[in-house]
Structure 1
């Protein structure tokens, strides 16, 4: 017989945050981004996609009425707890983890602010922000243009669902294969 002593069931809030995190990570792991969009399939490239996808979700939650902003903050905490665990699992030393986490946090918040501003300025600004961050400063190419289309579609999909819908069901990330390739920013 297995005794349940000392074992805690996760709180409903923890279950929700873990599900939201899993939805975001699932979107980040779509092979299409790395094969057709040209996002570098490296730690840095995946981090950029995490910052992008999570930033869009956080943008949506922060724009909502309460409890949206509180859920957004808890989701940021969850994302960074997972990043911390991932770094440790990858063998990054205990002494180095806090320094690396500080740099990742600054980069994450900077990217989120840059993408939010670019979405407000329009498609060309978004393409430039993506080229600068996701594609390492390369001149905006077809990958950045297509990724901008994906970002705009994701932003629209998230805005179309009420906060309660985002909290009750999987996040509405579009299929990256469904985004048509544009020829110009």
Structure 2
């Protein structure tokens, strides 16, 4: 009898958790020290968010190459939202503020998805990186050169990774630098 009741109280596993290794790899890639040291990206809350958004955009672009894997992109984005929500609550933002901030973050990610489609080495990509990573302040040229090279390397590594492999594992971790 109890075994038949168990099915009413058992919760199904969250299907988004299948994307957790990829999400963790996005965050680890974005937090790699070289972005902030050699790349001169500000190691601040905004700088970290901007880096996560950059790596996330590149990963989502790769997932978009396989339309049949669209759900994986949605699940990864939901993990992004949940993590950002949790991070803001952890640093003390209240319920009223968190919703608005998450909305702004999603809007920012959406804008970056478009901006980071620019070709590697292009003036458009350079402008997008300066606008988003350095908030429009002209960075040290060596830092920008480093970031542009690492973005190109990451994009190449993603392009060389089959989407099926990407969405089930953390193939990002050593992709760039």
Structure-1-length-normalised TM-score:
0.82
Deviation sequence 1:87-109 (CA, Å, 0-9, x none): 11110011111111111111111
- 2:167 alignment partner in structure 1: 167
- Is 1:20 the counterpart of 2:30 in the alignment? no
Q: Distance in 1 between matches of 2:161 and 2:43?
A: 31
SS in 1 for 2:172: coil
Q: Distance in 1 between matches of 2:126 and 2:173?
A: 19
C-alpha RMSD of the superposition: 2.0
Q: CA deviation at 1:174?
A: 4.5
- 2:35 alignment partner in structure 1: 33
Structure-2-length-normalised TM-score:
0.86
Unmatched segments (≥5 aa) in structure 1:
179-185
Q: CA deviation at 1:173?
A: 4.7
Q: How many pairs does the alignment contain?
A: 169
Paired residues of 1:115 and 1:129 also in contact (CA < 8 A): yes
Change (3 A) 1:99 1:169: closer
Paired residues of 1:63 and 1:69 also in contact (CA < 8 A): no
Unmatched segments (≥5 aa) in structure 2:
1-5
Paired residues of 1:153 and 1:174 also in contact (CA < 8 A): no
Paired residues of 2:19 and 2:167 also in contact (CA < 8 A): no
